[in-house]
Amino acid sequence: MRDALCAEFGVSPMRMKALSQALSEASLRTEGGAGRGAATMTGTDVAIHAISAMLNLATKDAPDVIRSLLAMRLVNFARHLGPNALCEFPTQPSGSKLLDALTTVQQKLAMPEAEYPVPETFGAFLGQWVEGILDPTIGTYPQATGNRVRPADGTATLKISLNGHYATYTYVINSGSHEFADDFDRVEATYSVDGVLAPVRLKWENMLIITDAVFRRLREIAVETKK
């Protein structure tokens, strides 16, 4: 895994080894050595090593940054069609028992629970995305075709705001029509450290943007580590 990540992100083997050791000492990755006797790395392991490399984290800083990211909780999940949300599921109480009750009813009517199995923590989300578990759900969101349901073609993007302390995953479904904007039909999931539904508008943000192509490569690396 380390060799593949070094080649992908231009990181020296010694630096990647130091980052990996720091994550291991902080109990943030699967325990195991290197080479033939190494433990099988999970999708989350692959993701946090890659993010550490992409952010060019110092060895001493990597555990705190990664721990904070892994602990972020899901605060909102929505399916948008144009400017309207077809269904939206805020995960924290609103403070109004009546509003919460109405929201629960709306959730059940709008979409069965089985159709939005989004992981509660960002760490689990990263692992499931890299391992491809989310492909039938978020990663390839279902579209109705007559009496059948087929995977929806689209493109995923993950934005992680380091000073805003939130992450937003967006999956834009290809409409196949030039009549609509590029992001007309999309699925969004937001994770936050402090549980705030709408991230505070900042004057500037330190943002890491991970494209679908990067996660496809990380998935290949995760598969290779299991062989």
pLDDT in tens, the chain (227 residues): 889 999 999 999 999 999 999 999 999 998 765 555 456 788 899 999 999 999 999 999 999 999 999 999 888 887 777 666 555 665 555 455 544 544 554 454 444 444 445 788 899 999 888 887 655 444 443 443 444 444 456 778 899 998 888 999 888 876 655 455 555 677 788 899 876 665 567 788 889 999 888 988 998 898 887 66
Q: Which residues pair with 170 in a beta bridge?
A: 157, 188
- The sheet carrying 207-211 orders its strands as 84-88, 73-81, 185-192, 166-173, 154-161, 207-211
Q: Which two tokens stand for residue 107?
A: 């959730």
Is 219:166 a contact under the CB 8 Å cutoff? no
- The residues spanned by each domain of the chain are 2-68, 71-212
pTM of this structure: 0.75
